[in-house]
Amino acid sequence: MEKRVLVLNLDHSPVAVVTVQKAMVLLLLEKASCLSAYEYLEIRTVRRRFDYPAVICLNHFKNIPYRGVLLNRNNLFRRDKGECQYCGSKKQLTIDHIIPRSKGGKTNWTNLVTACHRCNAVKGDKSPDQAGMHLRSVPFKPSLTYFLAEYAARQASEWLPYLESKVLIQ
């Protein structure tokens, strides 16, 4: 699998994750500079060798409006680490409204959690307190940096120094 490259704005805020081809175009056109490279990897041409970029920084600030992280099933499961937030099960997962919609609960990051079928059925149309159930973690709205740090911990440790300060701030 091909490694991805983290693109930072001039202020070192994450902008995107791109392919190495796109990163190399930005570097060769001098629109970005390489901050970190993957160790033991390189790109070879007939005449030259290049470091395999891991993190690049744009040379000019780009005003990119923050769009936020989409609230969808996949991102909700990623935030909750694929576990039921009531019992910890990883099987037959579904989405649960903490405050049920019939009781005025909204469909947003702080009112949705991952729940297994069993816990969702036991809780039913009640709040967790009424059902005698407790959440394992407090639901929150994740940022792009949160998901990038999660990816970096698994696949690209070279990104972590550029994301750690951003994760702590949010």
Confidence of residue 170 (pLDDT cuts 50, 70, 90): very low
Q: Has residue 137 been placed in a domain?
A: no
Distance CA 99, CA 103 (A): 7
Each residue's pLDDT tens digit, 2-60: 888 999 999 888 888 899 999 999 999 999 999 999 888 888 889 999 999 999 999 99
Q: For residue 56, is it within any domain?
A: yes
Asked if 28 and 79 sit in the same domain, the reply is no
Average pLDDT over residues 71-83: 94
By residue range, what is the domain housing residue 40?
A: 5-66+143-169
Flag whether pLDDT at 144 surpasses 90. Answer: no
Indicate whether 9 and 62 sit together in one domain. Answer: yes
Matching residue, tokens 């816990």: 119
Same domain, 20 and 36: yes
Contact (Cβ atoms closer than 8 angstroms) between residue 14 and residue 6: yes
